[in-house]
Chains A and B, each alone.
Chain A
Amino acid sequence: AQSVTQLDSHVSVSEGTPVLLRCNYSSSYSPSLFWYVQHPNKGLQLLLKYTSAATLVKGINGFEAEFKKSETSFHLTKPSAHMSDAAEYFCVVSGYSSASKIIFGSGTRLSIRP
């Protein structure tokens, strides 16, 4: 069975400081992992994805994530937060061809303080 846990429901950082959004997964096989972002009143947009290639994945808008199998983690980071990064972020695990096996985390709301 697969599952994904986003460890923080809300993260608040100051503009210009690093961002860390934590995600742990559970999977009985090699998963594909994703981060999606949702700005207010918008749909979800893919930030980055890991599909068993390089463990450090770079995405859009300066975000990156590192797949750590030993820790079953896929944390999302950014060196310097920008006001436009304020949004909801979803960690997603997938591994089967069935759409129901795409498991979304409950989301982390990122707030940016001026």
Chain B
Amino acid sequence: ETGVTQTPRHLVMGMTNKKSLKCEQHLGHNAMYWYKQSAKKPLELMFVYSLEERVENNSVPSRFSPECPNSSHLFLHLHTLQPEDSALYLCASSQEIAANTGELFFGEGSRLTVL
């Protein structure tokens, strides 16, 4: 198995739907992250969890709701999204909160399309 696994790889949803993205890391890391990657834009950090506690929330709209039940799993719950939320959502993990290392291990992403 790869180190960080994301499901589903592709998701199409309407603006009134509720769906969830799942991330699982098999590296024994303590920190997990959600990033948004849109075309022509730098990666945007959305949420950071350390030992299942949210430590950063970068002004993300409330229609995105993260959940970290344990240090190996991270979810992103989606509801009433907008078409501009269509993007590649990347999950990453690191040993600690990337303390002076910045070394992140990424999953392959979930490609979200909002109709």
Contacts and interface: CB of A to CB of B under 8 A. Distances in A.
Interface of A: 32, 34, 36, 41-46, 49, 51, 90, 92-100, 102, 104-107
Given A32-B102, A94-B98, A100-B45, A43 B56 contact: no
A102 B100 CA distance: 9
24 contacts: A32-B100, A34-B102, A36-B106, A42-B109, A43-B90, A43-B106, A44-B92, A44-B106, A46-B103, A46-B105, A49-B103, A51-B100, A94-B100, A94-B102, A95-B100, A97-B97, A97-B100, A99-B45, A99-B56, A100-B45, A100-B48, A102-B98, A104-B42, A106-B42
Contacts of B45: 99-100, 102
- If over half of B's interface residues share one DSSP class (helix, strand or loop), that class is named, otherwise mixed; here it is loop
Interface of B: 4, 6, 31, 33, 40-43, 45, 48, 55-56, 58, 90, 92, 97-109, 111
Contacts of A49: 101-103
B58 to A, nearest CB: 6
B101 A99 contact: no
A96 B97 CA distance: 10
Nearest to B109: A43
B65 to A, nearest CB: 19
A47 B12 CA distance: 32
A92 to B, nearest CB: 6
A34 B4 CA distance: 20
Contact of B56 (A100, A104, A105): A100
A23 B111 CA distance: 28
Nearest to B106: A43
A34 B92 CA distance: 15
B4 A99 contact: no
Contacts of B43: 90, 104
B7 to A, nearest CB: 13
Given A34-B102, A43-B108, 19 more contacts: A32-B100, A32-B101, A34-B103, A41-B111, A42-B109, A43-B92, A44-B106, A45-B106, A46-B105, A49-B101, A51-B101, A94-B102, A97-B99, A98-B56, A99-B48, A99-B98, A102-B104, A104-B42, A106-B42
